[in-house]
Amino acid sequence: MDIFLKYAPHLSKSALKGYGSGNTANPMHGRGHLLKLLDLPCEILMQILTPFSTHALLPLTLTCKEVHNLVLRILHYRLLLAAAAPEYKIILEAYHPARRYTRPYLYCEYLGTDGLSAEIDGEESLYNDCDGVSGRLGKLGALYSRFRPEHPGVEGTIPARRIAGATPILAQPTDGTGATASEGWSQSTSLTTPIYLNAGDGGKRKVIHTINLDGGELFGQFCTYGSLVQLSERRGVFLSTVNIVQPGQGTIRVWRNWLVDRCRELYEAERDGMELDCASVAKDSTILWTDYHKNVGVKVAVRHRNLMHNEMNDLDEETLSCDLEIQELVVRTTHLTLAVEDSIAAKADAGRGKALIFGSFASRAA
């Protein structure tokens, strides 16, 4: 009750008492009429509830059916806005632990959220198969937004910065497809550094990583970290950053048996002209998840040609080398919505004029 009074001070506690009872008749107390909360029009109730954060709205769904429906409508449209917010961008850092400082981050282009539409009560509504109000919030929690990781777009090149005493590194030219040419370039190549844009290359180059396992090695490691950033007009400058992969997560164990199974599945599907598809994102075996709650994951295609034809290979004793092509980044849409809210809250805190001043100050002698 107190949380409602915070945003509706004109309503007295006696007016709010019994707001979930379902009795909408206005009681008479003396000469005046006292309104109950549910006697207000839906438009006013929406204005009262809209300033609430998602964490504050969820407990209110247990009060009554009417409030549940209003909260569901607010959360539904928040998910729509958060999934395709133009002022925000997801950047992905994916690399083998040995290449942590050499891999550039990837820009993620929004592809869509399967099952989420602007309709709440129509024929194409997400909640058509729900009996009453039960299960509707669970439907929202099961939605995933899909993004395509892209290499940073290159606008041009500038001369590399020379550091005294450092060994110069020659920039390798690329072929027509954008891949680095391993042959045909000489030591006379000019030292250049690419100028990256605040956008991806449109998926022109595939995002491929290699995992090598020695004989007897059961698993390898792969790191995946994602952040929700707000881009600035200046290249490479972010106005805000919110982690969507929490600290302590992001380092994934890639097991040998899983690699071999994915290799064979993809090989058989391509041989038969079929596509690997799974009806549920949470049950998709081609996704490497960063956490047990399956909030963030990367959908990969695993390829290795040497192990397709012999099912009886002793895989535990063989050296295994597989290419992981990152096809999509999948993020639970509710998890993404909370990240957007955290970014907005951080921006509001930054605008309050607070500052930390670091320095050495001499104290005045007494």
Read off the pLDDT of residues 185-223 as tens digits, 9 standing for 90 and up: 333 334 555 555 566 677 788 889 988 888 788 899 999
CB neighbours (10 Å) of residue 113? 19
Question: 226, 245 in Cβ contact below 8 A?
Answer: yes
Diameter of the chain measured on Cα atoms: 96
Give the DSSP H/E element, type plus range, for residue 225.
Answer: strand 219-231
Please give the Cα distance from 76 to 120 (Å, whole number).
Answer: 8
| Per-residue pLDDT at 164 exceeds 60 | no
**Using 50, 70 and 90 to split pLDDT, how confident is the model at 155?**
low
Name the most confidently modeled range: 129-138, 144-153, 298-307: 144-153
Residue 157: band (very low, low, confident or very high) from pLDDT cuts 50, 70, 90: low
Q: How far is CA 348 from CA 46, 200, 325, 337, 344, in A?
A: 23, 29, 39, 17, 6
User: What local confidence, expressed as pLDDT, does residue 146 receive?
Assistant: 93
| Residue ranges per structural domain of the chain | 36-83, 88-119+134-151+201-350, 154-175+184-197
pLDDT value at residue 24: 43
- Cα separation, 72 vs 84, in Å, equals 19
pLDDT recorded at residue 169:
46
Is the pLDDT higher at 158 or at 202? 202
Tokens representing residue 242 in the block: 């919110």
Whether pLDDT at 287 is above 90 = yes
The average pLDDT across 332-357 equals: 76
The predicted-structure confidence for 28-78, as pLDDT tens digits, reads as follows 444 456 767 777 788 888 888 888 888 888 888 888 888 888 888 899 888
Three-state DSSP at 343 gives helix
Copy the structure tokens of residue 84.
């395709």
The more confident residue out of 361 and 250 is 250
Q: Identify the CA nearest to 110 among candidates 199, 192, 185, 11.
A: 199
In angstroms, the CA 68 to CA 121 distance is 15
What is the Cα–Cα distance from 242 to 250, expressed in whole angstroms? 15
Burial of residue 169 (number of CB atoms within 10 Å: 0-12, 13-18, 19+): exposed
pLDDT of residue 99: 83
Residue 320, Cβ neighbours under 10 Å: how many? 21
Give the span between the Cα atoms of 41 and 351, in whole angstroms: 35
Between 22 and 224, the more confident residue is 224
Which residue intervals of the chain are DSSP H helices?
Answer: 2-7, 13-16, 42-49, 54-57, 65-83, 136-141, 256-271, 333-350
Q: Residue type for 286, please?
A: T
Instruction: Count CB atoms within 10 A of the CB of residue 211.
Output: 19
- Give the 3-state secondary structure percentages of the chain, helix then strand then coil, rounded to 5: 30, 25, 45
Alpha-carbon span 256 to 214, nearest angstrom: 10
Average pLDDT across the chain, whole number:
74
| Burial (0-12, 13-18, 19+ Cβ within 10 Å), 101 | exposed
Does residue 12 register a pLDDT over 50? Answer: no
Q: How many residues does the chain have?
A: 366
Q: Provide the pLDDT for residue 83.
A: 80
| Burial category of 89 from C-beta neighbours within 10 Å (exposed 0-12, middle 13-18, buried 19 and up) | buried
Q: Determine the pLDDT at residue 148.
A: 93
pTM, to two decimals: 0.72
Angle (deg, nearest 10), helices 65-83 and 333-350: 80
